[in-house]
Structure 1
Amino acid sequence: MDVLTRQDVRNYPPRQDSVPRARRHSAWLAVAWGQPELASDVALLTSELLTNALLHGSLWDRYLRVAVQLTGAVLRIEVTDPKGERRPEPRAVSDDDQFGRGLHIVSALSERWGSCDRVVGKTVWAELAHGGHRGPR
């Protein structure tokens, strides 16, 4: 039996207004692809991954790419930025810190997440399994 794969790829300029645009579009895709129960998690994961790329991996003249893919029971969000030298790592934060929780949120919401090098830059991804366990294993 063939597994249906659905995929969408969009490029966004490295600006703050790209984050809500990508978040809304990714959530819309989850609903359009028959996974409305994942829409809010997809929106939050997209927002966190794209915000990290914007803050730590963007260059003013290079687009950021958001890819969303549904294959079988897994919905995957990928964000690609042009700076490969900064690897994503969760960091310790205190209650007073304003930033630094993004990857902790990604880890808590996703089944798995990680990053991979590209010829130029890197891709950071997170996967959700619909109908299954949520959170790290």
Structure 2
Amino acid sequence: MTATQTFRIPKRRRHVPAARQRIRKALADWGITGELADAVTLSANELVTNAVAHCRTSCAEVEVALTLDGPELLLEVTDPDRDRIPRPHDSDPDEECGRGLAIVAGLAEAWGHREKTYAKCVWARFTVAERLEGTHVPAGL
């Protein structure tokens, strides 16, 4: 069975912590804690921050979706600026930003993006079964 948690936040930096909290709560409700929860939460933080920082559409909302489907967990962050495709950036050691996608690539099994009709979605996929050693995922999910 599949479980999904979806929510929207205004495209403002001050709402990024609220997105992190909602992700963490959804994961905990599904019995996902520890290293995997940390990896998903950090990835969500990076993808939501990128959407908020780089989306050029004014008064926009960012949609965050988590889907748990068997051994896979999919994180999707969608914003209405479909023409700004995410590209990894080689940051100099002195740069303070530009490492978000590299962090996501290092934490997730896979990541990518897809265009929608009026938006773009950046996603990251995690394998739950391999990381949940000894953790119980509630029946019915």
Using structure 2 for the length normalisation, give the TM-score.
0.87
Local SS of the residue matching 1:123: strand
1:32-111 aligned at under 5 Å gives the runs: 32-37=29-34, 38-111=36-109
Q: Deviations over 1:66-97 (max 9, x none)?
A: 00110001111100001111111111111011
Off by >2 Å, runs of 4+ in structure 1: none
Contact 1:93 1:100 in 2 (8 A): yes
Local SS of the residue matching 1:83: coil
Matched, 1:16 2:23: no
Local SS of the residue matching 2:49: helix
Q: CA separation in 1, counterparts of 2:105 and 2:129?
A: 18
Which letter maps to 2:30?
W
The partner residue of 1:27 within 18, 24, 28 is 24
Q: Deviations over 1:49-69 (max 9, x none)?
A: 000101112523121100011
How many pairs were matched up? Answer: 130
> RMSD over aligned Cα, in angstroms?
1.2
Which letter maps to 1:121?
A
Which letter maps to 1:75?
L
How much identity, in percent, do the aligned residues show? 36
Q: CA separation in 1, counterparts of 2:69 and 2:79?
A: 23
Q: CA separation in 2, counterparts of 1:16 and 1:55?
A: 7
Which letter maps to 1:117?
E
Which stretch of the first structure deviates more once superposed, 95-104 or 27-36? 27-36
Q: CA separation in 2, counterparts of 1:65 and 1:104?
A: 21
Which letter maps to 1:22?
A
Q: 1:131 to 1:58 in 2, by over 3 A?
A: farther
Which letter maps to 1:103?
L
